[in-house]
């Protein structure tokens, strides 16, 4: 499974979302060209993306929606439980905690953290917001697979460090900054040990706004025929 | 400027974000390898992405941070004012309205809309939330360049239709569904007129969660050397 482009993983996520919508509409069969049209890519692209992970359909017969959905759920690791803490429980953290759909995938919020006296102690859903100082003790007693960062931009790097120090190996960063593993001063370009293998993904509202601005000004680029992995 | 991959636009947005962080740290020069390391791509990729839009640096001399930043701002269309309405003013819409940084780029919230009697009439920032029924009248008297969709998933398609009917040509969709232009029943595969040229970009928390799950399970794929546009 080497050499799979990041863009292909993003597209798998889109295909899965489309399959869920088809299932909700009681549509039981689809095809690469149907998926392609709904996803805004080429049928060739759909077939290529799926082929990284196996053979899912029957040539000329298309795909069975629930089967392909189940396979993509498995490929993406969504058939297992993910224990999540949210760091930063202002408006954004609360919006994330209440975002519809997360619980469909066994993403379980197990801890909520903040530093503000006005927020620590509050109830959000069925959890009490804890102080960041208690994060490390919490992770030493509870399995935490992911941390969602919803703090202000100027706090994001420090909060990410606290998550990593507490042993959290996956971070979904909602702040509009690039989180970077600190580089050891003594060994040039060497990432500090505790950051090795930490995965960071970003959800950036501003990035979406900027892409939208670009494509409103350059709509012909949005319509360009999709080829290879470069969609 | 044809044939520019979508992924390249996303990377330009990342480079711009890095340049802002460098500027905030009073770092005035950078290079393709420095940008590459910070963005987690190859230096070749950085040079290729920038080359779509012109020649920004001096060979062997790297880039001047404020100049490259200004050029990317121009390329992305962020040197002009964008008038934005938010549709859906629950927790998510409020989090978006208050997300730090949007105002750095002349994204101006000019209208906020909802359908809930509990929310319509509320003050959020300096605006009063209006009823969706008043959207069309609002857009006929005010320039609106973008609509941000922050409604529940099962309302997203209808709300997108209302935005398009009101003449809004760019939609940033925060709901975890794929918005689709309706296809005219009479003319097969023909997109209805009012949707022609409408640009839709997505900001999907769940997609971020799913990508993170995949890469936690497959960290070796995250570390794969980046080539071409397939990062």
Q: Could you tell me the pLDDT band of residue B2, with boundaries at 50, 70 and 90? A: low
Residues B93 and B25 in one domain: no
What mean pLDDT value characterizes chain B?
87
CB contact under 8 A, A203 and B205: yes
Burial class (CB in 10 A: 0-12, 13-18, 19+), A43: middle
Using CB atoms, which residue from B6, B210, B228 is nearest to A76?
A: B210
Q: Could you tell me the pLDDT band of residue B169, with boundaries at 50, 70 and 90? A: very high
Integer CA distances (angstroms), B60 to B57, B63, B97, in order: 8, 9, 43
Question: What are the φ/ψ torsions at residue B123 (nearest 5 degrees)?
Answer: -95, 125
Comparing CA positions, the residue from B223, B152, A48 lying closest to residue A35 is A48
State the residue range of the domain holding B40.
6-75
Residue A49 with chain B: CB contacts under 8 Å = none
Residues B106 and B70 in one domain: no
pLDDT at B187 over 60: no
Q: How far is CA B95 from the centre of its chain?
A: 16
Residue A43 with chain B: CB contacts under 8 Å = none
B75, B97, B115 — which closes off a domain? B75
So what's the pLDDT on residue B188?
53
Residues B63 and B99 in one domain: no
ipTM score assigned to the predicted complex: 0.88
Residue A71 with chain B: CB contacts under 8 Å = none
CB contact under 8 A, A102 and B204: no
Using CB atoms, which residue from A91, A107, A213 is nearest to B209?
A: A107
- The residue of chain B nearest to residue A213, with distances taken between CA atoms, is B77
* Arithmetic mean of pLDDT, A170-194: 77
Angle at A186 between CA A161 and CA B36, to 5 degrees: 65
So what's the pLDDT on residue A194?
82
| A220 against A53, higher pLDDT | A53
CATH label of the domain that carries residue A109: 3.40.50.720
Distance of alpha carbon A69 from alpha carbon A75, whole angstroms: 10
Distance of alpha carbon B156 from alpha carbon B178, whole angstroms: 9
Does residue B219 sit within a domain? no
Would you tell me how many other CB atoms lie within 10 Å of the CB of residue A85? 24
Any known ligand binding at A90? yes
Name the H helices within B32-82: 32-39, 43-51, 65-75
Q: Could you tell me the pLDDT band of residue B7, with boundaries at 50, 70 and 90? A: confident
Task: Tell me if A166 sits within 8 A of B202, measured CB to CB.
Answer: no
Any known ligand binding at A92? yes
Token pair in block for residue A120: 């620590």
pLDDT at A136 over 80: yes
Size of interface A-B (CB pairs under 8 A): 235
Residues B159 and B56 in one domain: no
Q: Tokens 């005010």 sit at which residue?
A: B142
Comparing CA positions, the residue from B50, B9, B53 lying closest to residue B31 is B50
Any known ligand binding at A89? yes
Using CB atoms, which residue from B84, B209, B230 is nearest to A172?
A: B209
Does residue B224 sit within a domain? no
Distance of alpha carbon B167 from alpha carbon B158, whole angstroms: 14
Structure confidence by residue, pLDDT tens digits, B83-128: 999 999 999 999 999 887 777 778 999 999 999 999 999 999 899 9
B55, B75, B95 — which closes off a domain? B75
Distance of alpha carbon B64 from alpha carbon B29, whole angstroms: 5
Does residue A224 sit within a domain? no
Chain A: closest CA distance from residue B59 (Å) = 24
CB contact under 8 A, B82 and A209: yes
So what's the pLDDT on residue A224?
43
Helices first, then strands: H and E counts in chain B: 9, 10
Does residue B86 sit within a domain? yes
CB contact under 8 A, B21 and A177: yes
* Arithmetic mean of pLDDT, B30-45: 90
What mean pLDDT value characterizes chain A?
87
User: Which residues, 6+ apart, have CB-to-CB distance to B219 below 8 Å?
Assistant: A197, A199
SS3 B146: strand
Q: Could you tell me the pLDDT band of residue A228, with boundaries at 50, 70 and 90? A: very low
* Arithmetic mean of pLDDT, B8-18: 91
Residues A119 and A71 in one domain: no
Does residue A70 sit within a domain? yes
Which segment of A35-39, B111-115, B135-139 scores lowest on mean pLDDT?
A35-39
State the total domains in chain A.
Answer: 2
Task: Tell me if A100 sits within 8 A of B153, measured CB to CB.
Answer: yes
- The residue of chain B nearest to residue A98, with distances taken between CA atoms, is B91
Integer CA distances (angstroms), A27 to A101, B8, B110, B187, in order: 20, 35, 40, 22
Question: What are the φ/ψ torsions at residue A87 (nearest 5 degrees)?
Answer: -110, 115
Chain B: closest CA distance from residue A197 (Å) = 7
Does residue A226 sit within a domain? no
| B58 against B37, higher pLDDT | B37
Would you tell me how many other CB atoms lie within 10 Å of the CB of residue A26? 7
A35, A56, A75 — which closes off a domain? A75
Question: What are the φ/ψ torsions at residue A205 (nearest 5 degrees)?
Answer: -60, -45
Residues A50 and A119 in one domain: no
Comparing CA positions, the residue from A93, A94, A223 lying closest to residue B195 is A223
| A176 against A173, higher pLDDT | A173
Token pair in block for residue B153: 């998933």
Measure CA of the first residue to CA of the last residue in chain A; give whole Å.
21
Would you tell me how many other CB atoms lie within 10 Å of the CB of residue A10? 21
CATH label of the domain that carries residue A11: 1.10.10.10
User: Which residues, 6+ apart, have CB-to-CB distance to B59 below 8 Å?
Assistant: none
Residue B199 with chain A: CB contacts under 8 Å = 212, 215-216, 219, 222
Distance of alpha carbon A22 from alpha carbon A16, whole angstroms: 10
Residues B121 and B67 in one domain: no
E strands in B81-141: 82-87, 107-114, 123-124, 127-128, 130-131
CB contact under 8 A, A216 and B178: no
Does residue A199 sit within a domain? yes
CB contact under 8 A, A205 and B96: yes
Any known ligand binding at B90? yes
Comparing CA positions, the residue from A92, A215, A198, A9 lying closest to residue B13 is A215
Distance of alpha carbon B64 from alpha carbon A26, whole angstroms: 56
Distance of alpha carbon A43 from alpha carbon A32, whole angstroms: 5
Residues A106 and A180 in one domain: yes
Does residue B214 sit within a domain? no
| A34 against B104, higher pLDDT | A34
| B156 against A183, higher pLDDT | B156
Torsion sign across C-alpha atoms A10, A11, A12, A18: positive
So what's the pLDDT on residue A180?
82
Distance of alpha carbon A8 from alpha carbon A26, whole angstroms: 27
Which candidate in A212, A214, A220, A224 is best for mutational testing of the B interface (most B CBs within 10 A)? A212
Using CB atoms, which residue from A12, A102, A172 is nearest to B212?
A: A172
So what's the pLDDT on residue A29?
95
Would you tell me how many other CB atoms lie within 10 Å of the CB of residue B28? 12
CB contact under 8 A, B180 and A16: no
């Amino acid at each position: 499974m080497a050499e799979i482009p990041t863009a292909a993983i993003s597209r798998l996520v889109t295909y899965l979302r489309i399959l869920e919508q088809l299932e909700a509409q009681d549509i039981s069969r689809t095809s690469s060209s149907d998926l392609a049209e709904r996803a805004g890519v080429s049928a060739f692209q759909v077939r290529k993306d799926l082929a990284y992970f196996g053979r899912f359909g029957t040539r000329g017969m298309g795909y069975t929606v629930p089967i392909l959905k189940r396979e993509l759920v498995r490929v993406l690791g969504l058939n297992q439980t993910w224990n999540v803490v949210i760091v930063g429980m202002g408006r954004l953290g609360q919006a994330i905690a209440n975002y519809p759909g997360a619980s469909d995938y066994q993403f379980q919020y197990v801890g909520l953290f903040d530093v503000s006296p006005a927020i620590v102690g509050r109830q959000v859903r069925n959890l009490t917001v804890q102080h960041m100082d208690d994060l490390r003790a919490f992770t030493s007693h509870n399995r935490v697979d992911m941390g969602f960062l919803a703090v202000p931009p100027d706090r994001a790097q420090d909060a990410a460090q606290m998550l990593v120090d507490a042993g959290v190996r996956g971070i979904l960063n909602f702040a509009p900054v690039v989180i970077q593993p600190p580089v050891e001063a003594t060994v040039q370009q060497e990432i500090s040990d505790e950051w090795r293998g930490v995965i960071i993904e970003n959800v950036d509202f501003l990035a979406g706004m900027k892409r939208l601005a670009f494509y409103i000004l350059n709509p012909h680029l949005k319509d360009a025929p999709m080829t290879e992995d470069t969609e």
